[in-house]
Structure 1
Amino acid sequence: MHNLILYNANVIPLRDDNARTELVAISNGRISWVGEKSDLSLLKGPNTRAIDCQGYTLVPGFIDAHCHVLAYASSLMAMDCSPAAVRSIEDIQAALRKGASAAPIDQWVRGAGYNEFYLEERRHPTRWDLDKASPDRPVRLSHRSGHALVLNSLALSLAGITSKTEEPPGGVIERDIQTGEPTGLLLEMNDYMERVMPPLGEAQMAEGLREANRGLLSFGVTSVHDATPSNSLERWLAFRRIKEEGIFLPRVTFMIGAKHIQEFLEADLAVKGGDEKLSLGAVKVVLTATSGALNPPEDELWHTILRIHEQGFQVAIHAVEAQAVLAAGKALSQAIQRVPRRDHRHRIEHCSECPPEVLRELKGKALLVVTQPAFIYHSGERYLAEVPQEMQPWLYRMGSFAKAGLAPSASSDAPVVPPNPLLGLYAAVTRMAETGRLLSPEEASSPLEALKAYTLNGAYAAFQEKERGTVEVGKLADLALLDGDPTMVEPEHIRDIRVMMTVLGGEIVWQR
């Protein structure tokens, strides 16, 4: 018997024929019927709940294929220093003072989401700026990108960072040109800070996870891929507890940090272990060119990837800069040639800068790209101002990725930007920044390709396309009901579409 029937809907199934239907029935957490609204009388039983969708559009639940769940939850417990909340360093100081007055005396003061490009001063805050906000409490201010942070003087001292501190591999400690003293700005040093900074308390983290849960479900997101490079067995077990407690409902595909593979092998966890709620995914490797040189160097990268590939894991490489994307593509190609393996589905995460010669290197290798079209919306003005005009067409090339057979998946990289797929869809289709200015419109996706990037392609990138990503009988009943059709409305109106209802495993978990 069907538990729930959604009828009088505009169903976009995203299966091969993509024929529109009007009704979806659900039994025991899975889709049990897809048909016309005239089927309702045949399907409805005495205990069936039937909901008239009033012509709204029903799509597969959105999949955010690259985010950081605990960092997102933590950011929601920090003072909001995003461009939407602050306009100047003085505003940041005011926010941090407010945070210091509210937080227990033994806790660090945290701010999150600042972006120096949108500050009146057009610069990063310094330790001395943060000292004015809270001289006697340690302060950490996280950049919107997740790759930079600023500490005040007390926090630098507690972290053991002085003028004599050597930079960790890949990290950068900005120093005053005249004195050599740290300015407070740290680049690519999250791992270092994790070791020296106390984590959020359990109660605070639980509250942050509940907020993250509400936010994702309100955006129609039913699955996420957690791409945190420090993911360990300990963190996997923490996610298990979180799922058991029911405070975070979206399904989680948990990437393994490259340094932690052995822990999972010794724990006898299968390459694709877990269940429908929490499963193991790719092994996350970080490759950067922030300082102009590759970290790790190409030879080390190649051996790391080959080892992961030989062990049967899927590889997911963080690569932003063109130099890094090219090196990632070459290393993956060499590993596949050395040890041929069918259906490896190795991923390049971000692929932010992809000039033509790099795209040619990626094409035809059965590689996948997981990128962030919403960055065009949130940071488009910065790209237009700071990226040379001839390089702008290389950024987040959703259109070219699809044409090259890279099956692009879309994501938010939350907490970098809010995990709202409809803003990402809007940016992928229009290539418009928040201000309405265009960034290389020739790289636009079709609305249907953009929708696939947030659904079917995300499932495929995690070997889950048989379970989710389309509206078909037998698949998990993860659905989002929208008050507009993103494939039919005028592209500039996609961002105005609202999620009306989110269904996860056949249960209505959020409703407007």
Structure 2
Amino acid sequence: MPVDLLIRNARILTQDASCPAATSLLIHDGKILEVDPGADLAALAVRTIDAAGTTIVPGFNDVHAHSVWFGLGLMEADAGAAASLDEVYRIIADAAAGMAPEEWVVASGYSPLLLGGQQPDRDRLDEAAGGRPVWIKHSSGHACTLNGVALELVSARADLSAPIDGGAVVVGDDGRPTGLLEENAMRLVQDILLPYPLETIEHALDLATSHYLAEGITSVTDAGIAGGWIGYSPREFAAYQNARDKGLLSVRMQPMLVMDALHNVAGHANDPASRSLDAGIRTGLGDDWLRLGPVKIFSDGSLLGSTAYMTEDYVGCTHNHGYLQMDADQLRESALEAYRAGWAIAMHAIGDHAIDHAIDIITEAQETFGINLQPNRIEHGGVVRPDQLDRIAAAGIVLVPQPHFITEFGDGMAQLLGPKRTNWSYPAKSLLERGVTLPGSSDRPVSNGRPLDVMQSFVERLTPSRQVYGPDERITAAEALAAYTTGSAAATGTGHIKGRLAPGYLADMVFLDQDPTAVAPSDIAATRVLATMVGGQIRFGAENLPAPVRTADLEAALTGKETP
């Protein structure tokens, strides 16, 4: 039987303990058929790629990103590039130039933490935008800034002085709203501008997933769509399906629906009450290319915005220890109803007090209704006490930290947390020592999502000022690579088909110009992605590899015999 492809003469880090290193792979029908095949089996390949010593690893899998948000950011003004408030105003002015008088100026990526906590002035934004409404999305995803014109539009629809559960309209000393909207208060502007057209969301997915390929990413879990302040349309999953049908979805996707997208679904009188989608759709629906993940549940806010829920106050912020985004009893009840309906839980919890709630809820769900086929997860883990790590390990919960937050925001986070909690922040080594699954993730676009950069952050844990952030949580380069491959596969319930280059596994892999586990920690990020293969097809960087040739022609060239 003819076989599709042979890759030979490579340095392959398979991530398979039974065969950790190899030199060749036989690929057929989008999967690995054999590792280091014998001559008779290799001869069945129709085509061959001579990798000329190139390093090959399994495709990188980011288990917590926001692809639509990232793709939209590629279409919007980039406020993340601003090094001062004056630059913010210039970016807004440049974006507004030529726009219609009433058109919204939208910018993404602003990080107050990188500017010493400074917020743009609403009146200066009015001036910069020429009287147009301005919406600046913060990089944390947990806050945004409006100018005065936009605030007037919002106030025409809602009372800005009314209390908001799990959010705040920040007011200055003069009694006026500053333009800063935190957490659930962001819905005030989203109610005006959302939902986005499906075609816009599809274009965002096209831009995002095409970018992923250039970084060696072959699988992504999108952590929250179709609802809450993080969704862009109630029909958002349809945009994923449409993008796939149109060939715009370049990598494998596992979207999480936000809890707000679920509702009580009627059933037989003997059926338990459940929170789900109509027809009983739940976690796991789909195929190897597009599959529904857990339900995303927000419990607290952001460490960057000092809204994550802590047991102790932030340093220098008396009487501020963050807050839950919903009543604790409501949080528990809704999570248990969704779990009972078949949804795995992915609980956003950054502060240690929020993590207490997350562990309690997930543990109760598992003990009451049994173990879900997909792992239950706690997203982020900004501060995790040692006793909580023990409970997480005992319950088999997956913790999903983002080490590149340290590289980008570590100095500001350490200042807010103090030394003790900094050592408990975004753990890695402590998870591995307890046998807890450690996946690779970025929270992109909150942080840079290039996997090789994040792997270096796993290993070095250096802040922008080059201070070591939680030195006991450093891991090796090999462990960081495992996080982005086998660890991510385990975290997403796909460990039987992804994360390894072994027979029967998907032929998703990355061709690199060096072995990232064999260089100095400071050189890991310098590793260059030469090409990315998904399902046995080179989808990025074909020009960087020798062109596939007929296997018979290659053998003839090597042996000096004529092709039969």
1:216 paired residue among 209, 212, 217 = 212
SS of match in other structure, 1:279:
coil
Identity of aligned residues (%): 29
Hey, what's the Cα distance between the residues in 2 that align with 1:254 and 1:208?
15
Pairing 1:439-458 to 2, within 5 Å after superposition: 439-458=469-488
SS of match in other structure, 1:326:
helix
Q: In structure 1, what is the equivalent of residue 174 of structure 2?
A: 178
Hey, what's the Cα distance between the residues in 1 that align with 2:374 and 2:61?
20
Pairing 1:34-433 to 2, within 5 Å after superposition: 34-35=35-36, 39=38, 42-44=41-43, 47-48=46-47, 50-82=48-80, 85-103=81-99, 107-119=103-115, 122-160=117-155, 164-179=160-175, 181-189=176-184, 190-198=186-194, 205-228=201-224, 230=227, 234-262=235-263, 265-288=277-300, 290=307, 292-341=322-371, 345-433=375-463
Query: Does the CA-based 8 Å contact 2:512-2:531 persist in structure 1?
Result: yes
Closer/same/farther in 2, CA of residues 270 and 204 from structure 1, 3 Å limit:
closer
Hey, what's the Cα distance between the residues in 2 that align with 1:501 and 1:488?
20
Q: In structure 1, what is the equivalent of residue 512 of structure 2?
A: 482
**Equivalenced residues, count:** 505
Point out the more displaced range, 248-257 or 207-216: 207-216
> Unmatched 5+ residue regions in structure 1?
none
> Unmatched 5+ residue regions in structure 2?
266-275, 302-306, 308-320, 545-564
1:109-149 CA deviation, whole Å, 9 max, x = no partner?
Answer: 11111112323x64121322321211421111111111111
Q: After TM superposition, give the deviation of residue 371 of structure 1 in Å.
A: 1.6
Q: After TM superposition, give the deviation of residue 92 of structure 1 in Å.
A: 0.8
Closer/same/farther in 2, CA of residues 127 and 99 from structure 1, 3 Å limit:
same
Point out the more displaced range, 189-198 or 459-468: 189-198
Closer/same/farther in 2, CA of residues 137 and 300 from structure 1, 3 Å limit:
same
Q: After TM superposition, give the deviation of residue 505 of structure 1 in Å.
A: 1.1
Q: Which amino acid aligns with 1:110?
A: V
Query: Does the CA-based 8 Å contact 2:205-2:248 persist in structure 1?
Result: yes
1:98-118 CA deviation, whole Å, 9 max, x = no partner?
Answer: 111154555321111111232
Query: Does the CA-based 8 Å contact 1:376-1:431 persist in structure 2?
Result: yes
1:375-397 CA deviation, whole Å, 9 max, x = no partner?
Answer: 11111232344431222111111
Closer/same/farther in 2, CA of residues 51 and 329 from structure 1, 3 Å limit:
same
Q: After TM superposition, give the deviation of residue 41 of structure 1 in Å.
A: 7.6
Hey, what's the Cα distance between the residues in 2 that align with 1:496 and 1:192?
42
Q: In structure 2, what is the equivalent of residue 26 of structure 1?
A: 27
Point out the more displaced range, 192-201 or 274-283: 192-201
Q: After TM superposition, give the deviation of residue 69 of structure 1 in Å.
A: 1.4
Q: In structure 2, what is the equivalent of residue 5 of structure 1?
A: 6
Hey, what's the Cα distance between the residues in 2 that align with 1:426 and 1:403?
20
Query: Does the CA-based 8 Å contact 1:135-1:154 persist in structure 2?
Result: no
Q: After TM superposition, give the deviation of residue 506 of structure 1 in Å.
A: 1.0
SS of match in other structure, 1:65:
strand
Closer/same/farther in 2, CA of residues 155 and 482 from structure 1, 3 Å limit:
same
TM-score computed with the length of structure 2 as normaliser: 0.84
Closer/same/farther in 2, CA of residues 41 and 95 from structure 1, 3 Å limit:
farther
Q: After TM superposition, give the deviation of residue 270 of structure 1 in Å.
A: 4.8
Query: Does the CA-based 8 Å contact 1:345-1:461 persist in structure 2?
Result: yes
Q: Structure 1 runs of 4+ off > 4 angstroms?
A: 39-42, 102-106, 161-164, 198-207
Q: Which amino acid aligns with 2:257?
A: I
Measured on the aligned residues, the alpha-carbon RMSD in Å equals 2.3
Hey, what's the Cα distance between the residues in 1 that align with 2:39 and 2:130?
66
